[in-house]
Amino acid sequence: MSNHEEITAPSTQEDIEAADKLKNEANEYFKKQNYDKAIELYSQAIEKNPNSAVLYANRSIANLRLENFGYALGDASKAIALDKGYTKAYYRRAAAHMSLGKYKLALTDFEYVTTVRPYDQDAKLKYSECNKIVKKIAFEKAISVDKKEVNIADSINLDSMTIEDEYEGPMLEDGKVTLNFVKELMEYYKQQKKLHKKYAYKILLDVKTYLQNQPSLVDIKVPDDKKFTMCGDIHGQFYDLMNIFKLNGLPSDENPYLFNGDFVDRGSFSVECIFTLFSYKLLYPDHFYMSRGNHETLDMNRVYGFRGEVTSKYTSQMADLFTEVYNWLPLAHCINGRVLVMHGGLFSKDDVTLEDIKNVDRNKQPPEDGIMCELLWSDPQPMQGRSQSKRGVGCQFGPDVTHNFLQRNKLDYIIRSHEVKNDGYEVAHDGKCITVFSAPNYCDTMGNLGAFITMNGKDLVPHFTTYEAVPHPDVKPMAYANSIFNFLCQ
């Protein structure tokens, strides 16, 4: 259903009653976290009664839950056009703006609510919190040097950090990650304990040094008789990450892995996930690969909990260092010259080549358009051609776009992640566009399976393994997010 219905003549009483019935049914699906079905029913209700602000606002929050920020924004704006005094619609629109990193626009919406409801304490709190974020970002920009952030890595003095006698956790050996260290680290994390900050900083500095020398598109060679594994989004679900290793074996030179972005945010064990993955990257640099996702970015980390988690478990300085490290993550990987793997998807232009991807200057926050943005944000669609992104960033691309891109670059198919799928994966575009998502029961609410893909180097035929979520300690998703984001985005 389109998210851009025009306001039409008033509906009949019969239509209004039918719309109410559909809305109530949609609300029940929403409560069960079946947001796709809820959106479908809200859309049917809107067809019956296109002048109801409530229906648009309800569809807006369902789209927010699915991270369809572009659609959520459009629906909230439509609700406001229909009812200027409908404060809930302003909250929805502010949430969509913040999810897209447009904090000043969000602030304008919160400000409006405080004007029309001067005694609403909740509105005042949200305005105040959003205002703090806007001021903090303005301050960060003011102190940046030549438009490049100050280099945090250069300011860290490892020698000044002492290991306390009472620390009983894993230790680097001669400053290096070893297999023994990683195994101890995973066990230590299962007990909800924290790696010493000196080792945490050392890992980050070493990973940054390594990644700086990598191209934006990394070529991976898989021998004919060897297995290769690809995982999608992990999103801070550490105990599910451990389950992947239990099902498929620990990473090693003989058991290589590629993790395809979105290691952090949402789930509240993101620190544990990223240090485990970065440790494996240092241990097996030529057999363990990591792509950047749209959540390895500053705006997403501000909203969805990672910055808050790092600051809570360590320091805000470390959170800044993570931003620096993420800027150097490769944007895509090409397996045996035949399979391209990226987090988001393909492009708004027809002529993009692998060479163009390789030449992207990636050491930055993603721009709002272009190759880097689309690699991190785009999504496939079933219909031909391209359309505006439901997320408000990147584009949506059809089977013909995929086919033409593969033909131009002499590739067999693409693998991407970025979207929750009920079965943990989806095969689209005549088998040429595969989605893999590895965070089961995403956000503890979606009920989806997780999946990973295995293949051998000879035929590169994808095989799918699916699994359910495993129990984890009682720390809710978004536990470390600013309260304003927690309310709006969970």
Q: Strand (E) positions, 280-412?
A: 288-290, 332-335, 339-342, 379-380, 386-388, 395-397
Query: What distances in angstroms separate CA 15 from CA 2, 4, 55, 75, 337, one per listed residue?
Result: 19, 19, 14, 20, 56
Q: Under DSSP, is residue 146 helix (H, G, I), strand (E, B) or coil?
A: coil
Cβ neighbors of 306 (< 8 A, separation 6 or more) are 236, 264, 265, 270, 295, 300, 319, 322, 480
Q: How far is CA 197 from the centre of its chain?
A: 26
Q: What is the Cα–Cα distance from 130 to 65, expressed in whole angstroms?
A: 20
Q: What is the Cα–Cα distance from 212 to 458, expressed in whole angstroms?
A: 31
What size, in residues, is the chain? Answer: 490
β-strands 339-342, 379-380: how paired? unpaired
What does the angle CA 421 – CA 29 – CA 233 come to, to the nearest 5 degrees? 20
Q: What is the Cα–Cα distance from 258 to 246, expressed in whole angstroms?
A: 16
Q: Which pair of tokens denotes residue 268? A: 């509240």
- Residue 97 among the catalytic residues: no
Residue among 196, 295, 333, 472 flagged as catalytic: 295
Question: Which residues are 176's β-sheet partners?
Answer: 173
Question: Which residues are 465's β-sheet partners?
Answer: 452
Cβ neighbors of 461 (< 8 A, separation 6 or more) are 455
Query: What distances in angstroms separate CA 431 from CA 201, 250, 413, 427, 434, one per listed residue?
Result: 42, 29, 8, 5, 7
Phi-psi region of 103 (alpha: psi -120 to 50; beta: other; left: phi over 0): alpha
Tracing tokens 């067809």 back to the chain, one arrives at 47
Q: Which pair of tokens denotes residue 337? A: 């010259």
Question: Which residues are 386's β-sheet partners?
Answer: 397
What is the enclosing helix (H) or strand (E) of 314? none
What does the angle CA 378 – CA 383 – CA 388 come to, to the nearest 5 degrees? 40
- What distance separates the 2 farthest-apart alpha carbons in the chain? 77
Nearest CA-CA partner of 203 in 178, 184, 183: 178
Active site positions, annotated: 295
